[in-house]
């Protein structure tokens, strides 16, 4: 089910963003950005509000067509794919790059289980053979539906949501909706999972659970994760690699330690002078949390 990348391939590049520029009229949201996302690891993207992080995700997942630049994905089975040329549904279906949203986008009136089954639409639709096999409930379709339910149940169990399976997704608490959105994205069988502020609105205990989940997905299942996050307790603890964006440009890149102490980063977050580098480690944490 999952494409498990063995640890020794962890250094290979899964996604390579090259000279990406996105303009909206006169506004340049992303300016000549280049970034590599290694396979089998967690890459954090941080930056002040309005830096272009979500725009990057929108370009990556086909919701925006980049003005210039390329997005190359080294897909484990399909080989090299150019994401900028694919419409959004094919990015998720064929390239298996799946995202979540900053403002949760579940199907609120449908149950949690239905949300997870809708995410497996393409597999099921194929099995239902233009709905004909489905209409007559032929064995092939019944089997596919059973597997889809089992798969959804597995993810629900892993994310400790199975007791909520039959509740309407929109009626559940915020933190749980965030988990459901991740579970739903996982049902699409992602090669690269793009999470847009998954810790927003979570309390410290939920954030800690999120950390554990992200590490499990990456280390045990080999899913590469691209993570936009403001909560430094999450980003700094789980990321193998962090890219910092400000005003659409990449201003720093490196391990959490390197980024934490980078004067450029501190300046972008706090607008302070470089002399104050002494308490920089804390400054980033506090500045971002504020």
Out of 135, 203, 216, 279, which residue is the one contacting other proteins (CB under 8 A)? 135
* Least separation in angstroms between CB 187 and other proteins: 8
Question: What is the helix, strand, coil percentage profile of the chain, to 5?
Answer: 45, 25, 30
Please say which residue, 29 or 169, places its beta carbon nearer to other proteins. Answer: 169
Q: Is position 92 an interface residue for other proteins (rule: CB under 8 A)?
A: yes
CA distance 179 to 210: 8
Q: Which is nearer to other proteins, 83 or 156 (CB)?
A: 156
On whether the CB atoms of residues 104 and 178 are closer than 8 A, the answer is: yes
Q: Is 99 helix (H, G, I), strand (E, B) or coil?
A: strand
Closer Cβ to other proteins, 6 or 103, answer by number: 103
Tally Cβ neighbours within 10 Å of residue 73.
24
Name which position in 10, 118, 172, 270 contacts other proteins (CB under 8 A): 118
Among residues 5, 41, 43, 128, the one that binds other proteins under rule CB under 8 A: 128
Q: Which is nearer to other proteins, 178 or 184 (CB)?
A: 184
Q: Which of 65, 78, 85, 166 binds other proteins (CB under 8 A)?
A: 166
Vertex 288, ends 243 and 190: CA angle to 5°?
45
Cα separation values, 81 from 4, 70, 71, 163, 288, Å = 19, 10, 8, 39, 34
Q: Which residues contact 287 (CB under 8 A, 6 or more apart)?
A: 266, 269, 270
Q: How far apart are CA 85 and CA 66, in angstroms?
A: 9
Contacts of other proteins in 23-52 (CB under 8 A): none
Distance CA(240)–CA(66), nearest Å, equals 27
By CB under 8 A, the residues from 174 to 233 that bind other proteins are 184-185, 188
Query: Considering the rule CB under 8 A, would residue 153 count as an interface residue with other proteins?
Result: yes
Q: How far is CA 7 from CA 76, 132, 216, 219, in A?
A: 14, 43, 14, 8
Q: Is 53 in the site for other proteins (CB under 8 A)?
A: no
65 lines the binding site for other proteins (CB under 8 A): no
Query: Residue 167 or residue 249: which is nearer to other proteins going by CB?
Result: 167
Provide the binding-site residues for other proteins, judged by CB under 8 A.
61-63, 88-94, 98-101, 105-111, 113-114, 117-119, 121-122, 124-125, 128, 131, 134-135, 145, 149, 152-153, 156, 162-163, 165-168, 184-185, 188
């Amino acid at each position: 089910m999952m494409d498990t990348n063995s640890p020794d391939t962890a250094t290979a590049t899964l996604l390579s963003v090259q000279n990406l520029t996105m303009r909206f009229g006169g506004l340049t949201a992303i300016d000549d950005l280049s970034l590599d996302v290694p396979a089998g690891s967690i890459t954090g993207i941080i930056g002040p509000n309005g830096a272009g992080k979500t725009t990057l995700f929108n370009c990556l997942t086909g919701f925006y067509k980049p003005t210039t630049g390329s997005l190359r994905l080294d897909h484990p089975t399909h080989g090299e794919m150019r994401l900028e040329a694919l419409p959004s549904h094919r990015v998720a279906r064929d390239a298996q790059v799946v995202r979540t949203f900053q403002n949760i986008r579940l199907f609120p009136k449908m149950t949690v289980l239905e949300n997870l089954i809708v995410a497996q639409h393409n597999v099921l639709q194929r099995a239902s053979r233009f709905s004909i096999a489905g209409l007559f409930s032929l064995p092939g379709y019944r089997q596919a539906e059973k597997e889809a339910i089992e798969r959804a149940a597995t993810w629900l169990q892993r994310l400790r949501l199975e007791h909520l399976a039959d509740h309407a997704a929109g009626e559940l608490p915020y933190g749980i909706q965030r988990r459901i959105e991740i579970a739903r994205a996982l049902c699409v069988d992602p090669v690269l999972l793009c999470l847009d502020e998954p810790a927003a609105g979570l309390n410290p205990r939920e954030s800690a659970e999120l950390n554990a989940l992200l590490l499990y997905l990456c280390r045990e299942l080999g899913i590469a994760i691209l993570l936009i996050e403001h909560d430094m307790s999450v980003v700094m603890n789980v990321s193998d690699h962090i890219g910092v964006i400000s005003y659409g440009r990449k201003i720093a890149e490196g391990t959490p330690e390197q980024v934490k102490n980078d004067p450029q980063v501190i300046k972008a977050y706090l607008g302070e002078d470089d002399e104050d580098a002494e308490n920089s480690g804390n400054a980033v944490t506090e500045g971002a949390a504020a």
